[in-house]
Amino acid sequence: MTNTEESQIFDITTQLTMLGRNPDEQWGFVNSPLYKGSTVIHKTIDDLENHRGRFYYGTAGSPTIFILEEAWTQLTGAAGTVLSPSGLGAISLAFMSLTKAGDHILVCDSAYGPTRLLCNGLLRKYGVQTEYYDPLIGKNIGKLIKENTTVIFLESPGSGTMEIQDIPGIVSIAKKRSVKTILDNTWATPVFFDAHGCGVDISVEAGSKYLGGHSDLLLGLTSANRSCWPVLRTTYDAIAMLPGADDCLLALRGMRTLHLRLKEAEKKGLDLADWFRGRDEVEEVLHPAFKECPGHIYWVRDYKGSSGVFTVILKNKFTRTGLENMLEKMRIFQLGFSWGGYDSLLIPVNPSKYRTVVKWPHQGFTLRVQVGLEEISDLKRDLESGFQRLAAGDISKNSIRDHLVSVGLTEQT
Ligand SMILES: Cc1ncc(COP(=O)(O)O)c(C=O)c1O
């Protein structure tokens, strides 16, 4: 609808409505049409041989893919964006673009589990050595940079553990030492954190989460600044891992309401996190907007908001049976991976299983909360009854009960 310069004078929420469509070229229709296809017809042999047309074959993109790429580029202030069939695909692409055999890379200990698997498996196989670092290391990251370090990977807040990283601090050291930075910005999205404005080289968004917003698509967006864009595009063109055009159209549709859904998730997330904080069953709530969340000061300094995903650590007195009893019988909160959709999810996570640098200090069960768009009082009621079912597996109460039974009394006496 507008070119980059025109749209950038508007607030990001206005840009979300303007980008990625051009009614003048769409017979006046408000939204862009869907282009699917492999073959593109060329008028001359010269056009065919020299790829003169804007599109020349399906693996190099289609108008539907292009408009989402362009919209994301403008929204993020990047030099260019490419789209992948999943968020994990987008992360893999970023690593493939910036690493080669013999490289050493630094990855935060709080990274999304499959990112770790990628580093420990495929990247290792191709001769790239990964070293994990404390996500709260800040500018001390410089001490870990070696002669062959090429990439620092950040994810903020960390998956499950919620540490907010000092992104500008790490980026400033990386730039001085000619190391590239990749950020998984999925939790905040460009609405709440300006990755490229902060100097990050490649920013990754799992569009399967908040951009899609309806748990009905898988998509990844990888955007790069001027220095990394050529290598990102070349790597992408070499492997041609494109998403389906239908999913791109769904993402464009999701983009129009991204800020509204994020703000609602923020409001509900804060309300619910505060409610959890007041519960007897809870040891700690890790929400970036709360003082006790590691790296909270960086959230205050760098972020414009918080989305609806946070972590709750239960007191160390419940049993697995109690937890199953709670989570498997919820009416609204469901057990399911992913997040950023309209529905609420509640799953157990176990950071002590995979962290290698910073030991997870908690013994109690840890829950990842994804707050959806349901009425907050219904969500609390659902949790309230969940906690009652959890209490059936309260070791301290059960041992009192066992003791009373053993001396011939009941709890009521
Ligand atoms: C922080 C983060 N990044 C990336 C991904 C990967 O996204 P996708 O599920 O689209 O592969 C996820 C998925 O849960 C995630 O939580």
Say yes or no: 197 and 274 in one domain: no
Look at residue 347 and tell me if it is in a domain.
Answer: yes
Question: Residue 94 contacts by C-beta under 8 Å, 6 or more apart in sequence?
Answer: 182, 202, 204, 222, 232
Q: How far apart are CA 161 and CA 113, in angstroms?
A: 12
Overall average pLDDT of the 152-180 stretch? 98
Q: Which of 221, 238, 256 is the last residue of a domain?
A: 256
Q: How far is the CA of 248 from the centre of ligand 1 (A)?
A: 17
Q: Which helix (H) or strand (E) holds 386?
A: helix 376-391
How does residue 406 score in pLDDT terms, banded at 50, 70 and 90?
very low
Residue from 170, 4, 171, 6 nearest 76 by CA: 4
CATH code of the domain in which 80 resides:
3.40.640.10
**Number of alpha helices (DSSP H) and beta strands (DSSP E) in the chain:** 16, 11
Say which residue the tokens 């009905």 belong to. 216
Asked if residue 83 lies in contact with residue 69, where contact means CB atoms within 8 angstroms, the answer is: yes
By most ligand atoms within 8 Å of CB, the mutation choice from 154, 155, 208 for ligand 1 is 208
Q: What is the pLDDT of residue 54?
A: 87
Give the pocket of ligand 1 (CB within 6 Å): 86-88, 112, 155, 159, 184, 186, 206, 208, 218, 220, 338
Q: How far apart are CA 227 and CA 138, in angstroms?
A: 23
Can you read off the two tokens belonging to residue 138? Answer: 């800040």
Look at residue 104 and tell me if it is in a domain.
Answer: yes
Per-residue pLDDT tens digits for 332-349:
999 999 999 999 999 999
Q: How far apart are CA 177 and CA 212, in angstroms?
A: 37
Q: How far apart are CA 16 and CA 162, in angstroms?
A: 27
Say yes or no: 44 and 182 in one domain: yes
Asked if residue 286 lies in contact with residue 280, where contact means CB atoms within 8 angstroms, the answer is: no
Q: Which atom of ligand 1 is closest in space to residue 339's alpha carbon?
A: 14
Give residue 274's identity as a one-letter amino acid code: D
Say yes or no: 164 and 273 in one domain: no
Average pLDDT, the chain: 94
Say yes or no: 193 and 289 in one domain: no
Domain ranges, residue 375: 259-400
Look at residue 406 and tell me if it is in a domain.
Answer: no
How does residue 398 score in pLDDT terms, banded at 50, 70 and 90?
low
Q: How far apart are CA 79 and CA 190, in angstroms?
A: 15
Is residue 405 over pLDDT 70?
no
Say yes or no: 235 and 269 in one domain: no
Q: How far is the CA of 91 from the centre of ligand 1 (A)?
A: 9
Q: How far is CA 247 from the centre of its chain?
A: 18
Look at residue 289 and tell me if it is in a domain.
Answer: yes
Per-residue pLDDT tens digits for 346-377:
999 999 999 999 999 999 999 999 999 999 99
